Chains A and B, each alone.
Chain A
């Protein structure tokens, strides 16, 4: 199993001139440590206007710094919002290729369409259209990367023959993913040969069924790119501490803060009646799972917080469900002091990660 970290870049009010500066630089410190400890991925989301919850509107800049300051960790640019009012597909292809060059071929690209009216409304995008534009983007971008010159006559965008430059360092192109939050998107991912990113949807048993669907469909997919990226990555919270009670308490504060901030936003589902947004978005499965309690009053068995043994148990559940990778949210709105975040990463890498790397008996 692979492990990654992902960033929403959240910072609480009251904002000071130092708030965002500290957030970005502490996050980069976490990335450098994760690279040294052997984590496989660093992902950064793209969000706009999401006060406190996410100040990650220019993830390509943050990730360029990550790439420049690390040696081996893969750089996940995602999800990028595949909506014309927010990103032209050629700009996505260009930025991603530049990141792939800077990172010497360590880029993965995650695609999606945004789940909030806060964002879509801010750019006056039409929520009815976003699934369709995403579908067109994921077909166009690999062609932009692999064809010397590219032209397109489409539904959401058109362009005459142009060389979209630079080209990615990886050949034929970087792996592509799609964020899976709405019901059925795992099938969309599989049909297109895309990795399923952040496939978080509640109980492990339900998750397993979705993974089975994904694995079945992807065997006969028509990939939008030059190859099939048959991988499933889940998302989870991480707080690892030698003292289980303290690990659980801090982890629950982290999860609760994330849940609270996310709920303040205006979801597209709430604001704009449309079939295009059947769920509330913003990792609702993860939020729901985090709010659950086990029979003993402890955290849900699916949440990776607590001491190394408890976290290993949770990860074994995801592993047995068929997940290839788990990406962890390390902090939210500075709930966890930086030194504790770093200590949590170190302890996880020392005590838990090796048990999933060496094929150690369960």
Chain B
């Protein structure tokens, strides 16, 4: 049967965000922009980054996702995420290893509401006619520089995003437990471009992704969209196969 991730979840436990509750109201992000890059990756690095609950995609992949939200319950922010392409049982997902946000307030709110391991950094998303680029700088050090080159317009319906899974401490049964928190964002895409994915620099350890080598560009898209981060509906035990360890909240 399919391979499972080999991440030592306990080793990541200390860094994992803590959610005080699982009842955060949904976030409306009108007028957002999303840069999405998909790369194929080295096999071994990918497996070691996924919790045992998850299967790697075939072939192994990672997503770089940068969202600029001019409005949100926590104000404007730009959020960059690294997601390892995976399957929770039969479902398409991306496991977020780490995220960076240009707003400390939004980073804290995204942590406590949805479990994003979001840290404050300088995150830039720049749109030009010949490329759309993103740059993340932490402590004066560039940890990501990537871009979509030669954008051409495509149909809004042509773009499809996978849902995110964040490793976080959540309250269950009177105690705090580690779970994968599913953030199944909804989107209404207005315009979309597609182009060539390029990556100029990538500091894997800074993204809690040591060993990950995004070595083959698959696709890049840039969209303007209204996004919604809905209330949390699903939790997954990171140590059990997702088809056995998924809990539907309120069920």
Contacts and interface: CB of A to CB of B under 8 A. Distances in A.
B58 interface: yes
* Residues of B in contact with A, size category: 20 to 34
Interface in A318-346: 333
B237 interface: no
Interface in A268-293: 269-275
Tell me the interface secondary structure of chain B in the complex: strand
Contact of B2 (A13, A118, A270, A274): A13
A169 to B, nearest CB: 38
Given A50-B58, A117-B218, A263-B87, A269 B2 contact: no
Interface string B81-123: 0000101011110000000000000000000000000000000
Interface string B28-54: 000000000010100000000000000
Contact of B1 (A12, A50, A263): A12
B57 A264 contact: yes
B218 A261 contact: no
B59 A52 contact: no
Interface stretch (B10-18, B72-80, B154-162): B154-162
A80 B83 CA distance: 34
A270 B160 contact: yes
* Residues of A in contact with B, size category: 20 to 34
A259 interface: yes
A170 B154 CA distance: 45
A229 B55 CA distance: 42
Contact of B92 (A52, A261, A270): A270
Given A121-B40, A270-B92, A264 B58 contact: yes
A273 B159 contact: yes
B2 A264 contact: yes
Nearest to B89: A260
A266 interface: yes
A12 to B, nearest CB: 5
Nearest to B2: A264
Given A260-B89, A266-B59, A270-B92, A275 B2 contact: no
Nearest to A261: B2
B160 A263 contact: no
B221 interface: yes
- Pairs A-B, 9 closest by C-beta atoms: A263-B90, A273-B158, A273-B159, A272-B219, A264-B2, A273-B221, A266-B57, A273-B194, A51-B58
Given A271-B38, A274-B154, A275-B157, 17 more contacts: A51-B58, A52-B1, A118-B58, A121-B216, A122-B59, A259-B90, A260-B1, A261-B2, A263-B92, A264-B58, A264-B90, A266-B61, A270-B160, A270-B162, A271-B219, A273-B219, A275-B158
